Each structure stands twice: as C-alpha cells, then as structure tokens.
Amino acid sequence: MKAFVLDRYIKGGALRSAEVSAPSLSDDEVLVEVHAAGVNPLDAKIRNGEFKLILPYKMPLILGHDVAGVVVRVGPRVRQFKPGDEVYARADDFHIGTFAELIAVKESSLAIKPRCLTMEEAASIPLVALTAWQALVEKAQIQKGQKVFIQAGSGGLGSIAIQLAKHLGATVATTASAGNAALVQSLGADFVIDYRQQDFDYVLHDYDMVLHSQDSKALAKSLRVLKEGGQVVSVSGPPDPAFGQTVRAPGILRVVFRLLSAGTQRRAQALGIGYSFLFMRAEGSQLQEITRLVDAGAIRPVIDKVFPFDATNEAIAYVESGRTKGKVVIKVR
C-alpha cells in the first residue's frame, strides 16, 4: 500500500512517499480502508521531534491521526463493526498511521461515521472534537449558564469547541481576526475579541473556564479572566504531574513536568483557580456521542482545504503555517 513515512525526526522536513506492507490485524482491531485523513498540528510536531520524550515512536513511522473510511476486515474479538461499515476515528497513540491507504484501528477507538457527512468532512472531526469533549465535558463539566473562553476560535479545535460549548448552554467568548469574526459568530460565539486590536484579559472577567491553546503569555492572561473556582484546561502546556501519572511517564519526566508547571500552578492556586493539562486520547464511546451531535445538527465540520493524497507534505506545511480556518483534510481515496 502507499503511505507517507517519517524516517527520522526532522524539523520542517518532508515525509517520504513509499510502498509499504499492509498493517497486520490484532484480535481487537479493525482494518480500515482510508478514504480521508485529517491533518493536525500534532502531526507536524511529531515530525519535528517535539513529542519524542512523551511519545517515543520507533522509526520508520507512518504519520496521521484522523481517519474516515470503510471497514475491510475485523479481528475475531470485534463485535461492533463489520466489513462495509463507514467509520471514523482518532487512531491511538503508538498506533497512528492514517496517511496511508489502510490502517488498523482498535475497536474501542472507532465509531460509525455521521450519516450526514462526506468522508472528507468526517475525517476533520475526531481529534479536535474529542479534545473539545474531554476539555469541556470530562474535565470542566460545563453547565448551562456558565461562561467559557475559547482561544483561537477559527482554528480546527476552536471551531468545534465553540459549537460544543454552545450546545452545553454556555456563553462563549473567543479570539479571532476581524476577517474571521463572522465565521466564529456563525458557530455560536457570543463575544469576539480581535486579538490584533485588544488584549482579551482587559475585556473578559469572571469566566468559569478557559480552553487554552496558545503560548505562555496567553496562558498568564487567561488566569486573570477567571473567577474564583474557575479553571484553565490547556492543550498546549505546560504538562502537569497529573498528566505524567496518566501516561505512566518515567520518574525523571514526572519531575520535569512538575517543574515546568510549578509557576503556573502557584499563580493559579493564589487566584483560587484550577489548572490542568490535556493530551487528548482516542475514545470511541465519546466519538459516538459526537456522532449524535453531528447528525442532530449541533456540530458541523469547518474545513479550510482538501489536498490530494500526493500532496500530503503540502497539507502538513499549510497546517503548520497557522493560517487555516477550521481543518485541513487529505483525500486518500
């Protein structure tokens, strides 16, 4: 099968187009014919070596985390899926590889594709929607009437998180350029701060939750917009000790995580607010809930551009540029 392979960590480098063997299938896995694959900043960061301590992959590695496609074959312990099913997933860490014609996905990470979406639209959903779900529903437990600040509302994560927060009944503020204000308002944002003209910490006050996805300066500002008892959930760091326990990191890494997050934890504690780091995980049962929301019209995909399979490297570079509105997708089949 054709795939795009990483031979070694290389910042800004290109993946190698190659013919490789089809993946073997474990008893609890489903072989999926890839029709479309979503592209995420995580793909570029893994290629660059930014996660090699947290995710020590063996090379060569097929990149790609989001998939939509058709079931080809199932392992003997699989009960929920059968050949011919249209499915989608965020592949598990250490089992990624959606930039290929076939991928083996754990049954527990897979869900039936939303009926109303094309393969390309479905491939744009899993990683960002699961991140939003795990931040807003699982960690923050957002309730109707609460106030949520979502950074970078026109991006892949922000565009889905806004819709989920509105579905949960929250008042939503976000940052976006003036050119993207209409987009994020159409997704449900109640307040839009033009980050080129205003500092959000001068505008927002007494928020219940911040979904942080930007740099350390934005994190420091985010602590100031929360009311006492509020919380920041960060997907861009710094990692905290709880994350080290979750991923069963070696002792030295847990010490590093504690040191990296110590300053943020102290500032948050002084303000009476919470801080936690989220590195999302594959979860088919949550994706099934997201499927219901998509089919009900509560969440819609936002796609910037679809690239052909041969242009996989160009798609990654486009995502890495930071100029995307919503998601970028590769059409594999």
Closest CA to 100 of 134, 50, 60: 60
CATH architecture under which domain 128-277 falls = 3-Layer(aba) Sandwich (3.40)
pLDDT of residue 242: 84
Give the separation between CA 62 and CA 113, rounded to whole angstroms: 23
Low-confidence stretches of the chain (pLDDT < 50) are none
* Distance from C-alpha of 154 to C-alpha of 209, rounded to nearest angstrom: 18
Please state, in angstroms and rounded to a whole number, the distance separating the CA atoms of residues 117 and 133: 19
List the chain domain ranges: 2-125+301-331, 128-277
pLDDT digits (tens, 9 = 90+) for 162-184: 999 999 999 999 999 999 999 99
CATH class for the region spanning 2-125+301-331: alpha beta
What SS3 class is residue 295? helix
pLDDT in tens, 88-145: 999 999 999 999 999 999 999 999 999 999 999 999 999 999 999 999 999 999 999 9
Whole-prediction pTM: 0.97
pLDDT of 54 reads: 86
Question: How confident is the prediction for the chain on average, in pLDDT?
Answer: 96
8 Å CB contact between 134 and 281: yes
- Pull the structure tokens for residue 152: 């970078």
pLDDT of residue 290: 98
CA dihedral 193, 167, 85, 128 (to 10 degrees): 30
